[in-house]
Amino acid sequence: MKIRPLGQQGLATSAIGYGAMDTALGNDADYDAASISAIRRAHEAGVTHFDTAELYGWGKSERVLGEALAPIRDDVTIATKFGFTPAFTPNSRLDHVRDVVDNSLRRLGVDTIDVLYQHIHDPAVPIEDIVGLMAEFVDAGKVKYLGLSNTSAENIRKAHAVHPISVVQASYSIFDRQSERQFAVLEDLGIGLIAYRPLARGFLTGAVKPLEGYPAGDFRRNNPWWAPGNFKANLAIADELQVLADKRGVTLSQLSLAWLLARKPYIVPIPGSRNPERVTENSAAAELTLTPGDLAQIEGIAPRGAHV
Ligand SMILES: NC(=O)c1ccc[n+]([C@@H]2O[C@H](COP(=O)([O-])OP(=O)(O)OC[C@H]3O[C@@H](n4cnc5c(N)ncnc54)[C@H](OP(=O)(O)O)[C@@H]3O)[C@@H](O)[C@H]2O)c1
């Protein structure tokens, strides 16, 4: 697996990472065992970067990821995040964040978190104060590299002035192009981009279903890509991309991930899957190089991303 440097502080990860959010969704031993198999399959396929958060099952995902990676801890980098409440509102109060980080270390079963993110900007706490606290974690050896997620260019600049930020995490896929507006600040400051939801939550995989095909309570119910009026138009985009993928002899997931890798050398997508075969498929996208002709065709098919 190719390695990509992220930021200027020494962080380097496999070109494709692994997103462990869905490992939080089950609550029985079989579900967890399947998650652990998928995570270990990712490592066998060369993935060295694994992403989780306190939010994902309130520690559930961190515990499962920690257990899966325990035998290979030193081969991988683990990222986690603080800053959400159960009501999905921000909470980066400093005393609260201190507790969250200690809990994350304990649940992951590690001495050091490789990448610690603020998960979402909290307007109630100045970003300088938050990054000041995150820098204390670095000094104390609890954290190696700092990241911000779901934030603005202005916050990235303010944060970076307090302590170097190695990575920003944002939604980025052929369907969701908004984070391209942050390329300028990332390049200016030499910060890497972790692309979350790189397969558009499964829309860009060939396995997408209409909303009725997903369980009640699935996040996709509130996602405009699936909304009436948008779904068919977005399916047409996915179908055209599938034709291109077929021509190249790759899967739509691989085409979608390789497109992200081709956008910038400092981008690492973190697809999520609990299916070991899909994990292998997704990881293999790191070896796929799209031609300028492929990239132009993708631009022609989805010049502004999905219909929303
Ligand atoms: N910072 C943030 O605010 C934030 C927000 C959302 C997500 N994230 C991170 O980003 C990671 C990925 O995002 P995501 O899981 O929302 O979206 P995603 O990676 O775009 O898509 C995941 C979905 O696609 C399916 N899938 C994956 N590979 C497939 C393949 N080859 N063929 C068919 N289906 C496939 C998965 O189902 P199966 O498991 O059944 O394969 C799952 O339903 C998360 O795990 C999390 O770590 C961060």
Residue nearest to atom 11 of ligand 1 (CA): 19
Q: Which residues are catalytic?
A: 56
Question: What range defines the domain where residue 86 resides?
Answer: 3-203+253-286
Among left, alpha and beta (phi > 0; psi -120 to 50; other), residue 217 is left
Span 153-168, pLDDT tens digits: 999 999 999 999 999 9
> Which atom of ligand 1 is nearest to 271's Cα?
19
Mean pLDDT, rounded, of the chain: 97
DSSP character for 90?
A: B
Phi, psi angles (nearest 5°) of residue 242: -60, -40
Q: Does the C-beta of 149 come closer than 6 Å to ligand 1?
A: yes
Whether pLDDT at 181 is above 90? yes
Predicted local confidence at residue 163, as pLDDT: 98
Q: Locate 53 and state its tokens.
A: 């958060």
Q: Locate 117 and state its tokens.
A: 């993110």
Q: Is residue 41 one of the residues assigned to a domain?
A: yes
Residue nearest to atom 5 of ligand 1 (CA): 196
Percent of the chain surpassing pLDDT 70: 100
Residue 211's CB: how many other CB atoms inside 10 A? 13
Predicted local confidence at residue 158, as pLDDT: 98
What average pLDDT does this structure show over 21-47? Answer: 96
Q: Is residue 307 one of the residues assigned to a domain?
A: no
Of 197, 214, 226, best ligand 1 pocket probe by most atoms within 8 Å of the beta carbon: 197
Q: Count up the domains in the chain and report the number.
A: 1
Model confidence at 219, in pLDDT bands (50, 70, 90)? Answer: confident
Of 35, 47, 118, 201, best ligand 1 pocket probe by most atoms within 8 Å of the beta carbon: 201
Q: Is residue 142 one of the residues assigned to a domain?
A: yes
Residue nearest to atom 31 of ligand 1 (CA): 278
Q: Is residue 262 one of the residues assigned to a domain?
A: yes
CATH number of domain containing 38: 3.20.20.100
Q: Does the C-beta of 13 come closer than 6 Å to ligand 1?
A: no
What average pLDDT does this structure show over 31-51? Answer: 98
Q: Is residue 219 one of the residues assigned to a domain?
A: no
What average pLDDT does this structure show over 7-17? Answer: 98
Model confidence at 78, in pLDDT bands (50, 70, 90)? Answer: very high
Q: Is residue 225 one of the residues assigned to a domain?
A: no
Q: Is residue 235 one of the residues assigned to a domain?
A: no
Q: Is residue 245 one of the residues assigned to a domain?
A: no
Model confidence at 27, in pLDDT bands (50, 70, 90)? Answer: confident
Predicted local confidence at residue 217, as pLDDT: 84
Whether pLDDT at 216 is above 90? no
Cα–ligand 1 centroid distance for 290 (angstroms):
22
**Sequence-ordered alpha helix ranges (H) in the chain:** 29-44, 60-69, 94-108, 127-139, 153-162, 183-189, 231-248, 252-263, 276-283, 292-301
Task: Say whether 21 sits in a helix, a strand or coil.
Answer: helix
